[in-house]
Amino acid sequence: MSLAPQGPPEVEKPRPPLPPFTQASAIEKVRAAENGWNTRDPERVSLAYTPESRWRNRSEFLHGRAEIVEFLKRKWAMELDYRLIKELWAFADNRIAVRFAYEWHDAAGNWFRSYGNENWDFDDAGFMRARHASINDVAIAESDRLFRWDRNAPRPADHPSLSDLGL
C-alpha cells in the first residue's frame, strides 16, 4: 500500500438537467430517474445520487452510494419483473416532488402495485443528495396489470402516464 499523497478526489461531471428547475427540466429529470430505475441496475442507479446521499425509503434509512446499491440489490431480488412510472408533482429551485407507481411480483407469483411519493433535493451539479420515499403496496391480480412494456426497455414514449391511467 502506497503512503504517497493522493491528488484531490475526482470531480464527477454534472448530471443535467441542473437546478434551478423549470417545469420542462423537472419533467426531464423525473423521466431520467424513471428510466434509470427501470434498468434495475443498482450500480447505474446509484450514480444519480451524491456519494453521501441520504435516503428514507419506507422504514429504511440509508447513507451513501454503497448502502443504496445494497438496498437496490435486495429490492430487485424480491420485486421481480419491476416496472415503474414516475410523474412530476411539484418543483422549486433544487427540489422535485414526484408520485409514482410500480408493478412487480414476488417469487410465489403474487402481483402487486406499489404507490408512493418522493421528495428529492439536488446539489448544484444535478446529483440527488436526499430522497424521502413513502410507499404502499396493494395486491393485484395479474390480469389487472397496467405496465406491460418489455421489461428490458424504458417505458415507451406513447405509454399512458399515471394520470392517463387514472392512478
Environment class of 98 (CB within 10 Å of its CB; exposed 0-12, middle 13-18, buried 19+): buried
Each residue of 35-61: pLDDT tens digit?
A: 999 999 999 999 999 999 999 999 999
Separation of alpha carbons 54 and 149, rounded Å: 31
CATH number (3.10.450.50, 1.20.120.1770, 3.40.50.450, 3.10.310.10) of 23-144 reads 3.10.450.50
Residue type, 5: P
pTM (two decimals): 0.92
Confidence of residue 152 (pLDDT cuts 50, 70, 90): confident
Q: Which of 20, 10, 102 is nearest to 57 (CA)?
A: 102
Write down the domain spans for the chain.
23-144
Grid cell locating 157: 414514449
pLDDT, one tens digit per residue, over 122-132 is: 999 999 999 99
